[in-house]
Every structure is written in structure tokens, then in C-alpha cells.
Amino acid sequence: MANRRCISNRIANSAKFLQMPSESQVLYFHMIIRADDDGVVESYPLMKLLGMAPDNFKVLIAKGFIRELNEDQVVVISDWLEHNTIRADRKVNSIYTHLLKEKAPDLPLLEAKPRSDVEDNSKRIEMSDSGRSTGSRSKVKLSKVKLTLPPVAGSENVVVEEKPFVSSEEVTKLVTSVRVDMKILGLYFRKKGYEFRNKEQLGIAVRREIKFASDLKHFDADQLRMAFDKTQKHAAEMKYDWKLSTVLKFIN
């Protein structure tokens, strides 16, 4: 069962937080919902899916609410342990633990402890060779995690439950995006019949293909349609798995 994500009243009601633009506040809330047990979250795909301007990310950095860990905009929530304290025997270490120790050594980390009712804790505590956790954390649907918002101006706490992730709906959002590169990505995912289990998987796919989509956006609709058709036909004849980079080769 997913850990319930909460927000500190002190932080959310502080002048520093309330003086930020409302979109920056919303982005911060969403980061807390999706953060792992060490408060780390991949912010780039999150901002793309929410349609947030980069300035909102920069405000959170400037105010010190988050710290950037790498060039891919993986961040850690600075006050994570004030927002959420997780039992050590339930905690799953972040796949970005190495970045936390390197880029934010001053931030406290909760050490994962073995559970007394489990014989083998290795899948939850240890990391795989690829750097990703092999534990049950991957099965948690973060899109269904509830967020308890702090009271504002005398109002009572409100529990917000996010809409479950639906792959086809998220791909449609890309297809109907005003950004041409996002639209190309959506069409590509749809033609390939990709099914994503969560927003994190979609975000990874977006980051992997965005460079090729950015190059393709300089061609008109007829050129793109022809290149996609040629690519699919050639791949079917030669029996290989085509990618967005393959479309770029055919369009040139």
C-alpha cells in the first residue's frame, strides 16, 4: 500500500511559500505526491505533463524548496522529512541515493531497516545493478496517492485523490498539445501502440525521444505523414523495430 503524502502546515502557511506564484505552489504539491521515500522526484516529465512553465521550477529552486541533483532536473525536496516521516522498516531507498550523497550531503537521510516480519529484506533495501530498486516500490501506483492539503484561511483540511493514470488519455494529451514536438511524440506513441503503466514510464519515454521529435517539428504535416508511412512500410518489409530516429532518416 502506498505511503500517504502530507504537507507541513508550517511550510505551506509560511510567507515564503504563499508569496510564490500559485502555479509554483501547485507544482510543489505535485512533487510531494510523486516523490520517492527520500523526497526525490523527476521534475521534467512532471512539468511537461502538467503544462507548467519552466519559471515555476526556477522559483522553487531560488526559494530553496527544492534542490536540483542533475541536468535532467531530478530534484530533492529540501524539507522532505518535515513533510513526511516514513517508518525505517517500510522505507525504500531512492534510486538516486548516489546523487543525494554527492549533491546534497547536508540533507538528512533515513536509513532503511529490515522488517522483523519478513525473512528476506534484500529486495526492498538493496539496489539492483542498474541502480534501480528491485523492491515492491515499483508496484505502487503513485497516481492514486492521496494528498492532505493544509488549512488555508480557516478552512478545514481537504483530501485530494488524483485521477488514476490512463495511458491512452495521457497520449491523447500529447497528440492535442499546442507544442509540435509533443504532438509528434503522441502520434509516435500511438502508432507504436505503446502502453505506459504510470506517468514515470511516460516521462522516461518522452525524455528518450524528445530530441528526435524536436528535429522533426521543422517539417510540415505532409512530409511527416509520408515519412511515417515510409518508415512503417520499410520496417514491415525488412522486419525490424523502427524508432522515431528512423523517421528522421527517411524524412531526410
Q: Give the rounded percent of residues in the chain with a pLDDT score beyond 70.
A: 79
The DSSP secondary structure of the chain, one letter per residue, reads: -PPPEE--HHHHTSHHHHTS-HHHHHHHHHHHHH--TTSEEEHHHHHHHHT--HHHHHHHHHHTSEEE-STT-EEEETTHHHH----TTT----TTHHHHHHH-TTS--PPP---TT-S--HHHHSB-TTSSB-SGGGG--GGG-EEEEPP-TTPPPEEEEPPPP-HHHHHHHHHT-SSHHHHHHHHHHHHHT---SSHHHHHHHHHHHHHHHHHHTTS-HHHHHHHHHHHHHHHHHHT----HHHHHHHH-
Q: Which of 74-88, 160-174, 179-193 has the lowest mean pLDDT?
A: 160-174
Give 80 or 109, the one with higher predicted confidence.
Answer: 80
Average pLDDT, the chain: 81
56 close to 43: Cβ distance less than 8 angstroms: no
Contact 100/40 with Cβ under 8 angstroms?
yes
Q: Could you tell me which residue, 45 or 130, shows the higher pLDDT?
A: 45
Does pTM top 0.75 for this prediction? no
Of 6-10, 16-20, 42-46, 135-139, least confident by mean pLDDT is 135-139
% of the chain with per-residue pLDDT over 90? 27
pLDDT over 80 at 143, yes or no: no
pLDDT the model gives residue 11: 93
Report the amino acid identity of residue 190: R
Confidence of residue 10 (pLDDT cuts 50, 70, 90): very high
β-strand partners of 175: none
87-120 pLDDT, tens per residue? 888 888 888 989 999 999 998 888 878 876 666 6
Given a cut of 70, is residue 27 above it in pLDDT?
yes
Question: How far is residue 160's CA from residue 158's CA, in Å, rounded to a whole number?
Answer: 6
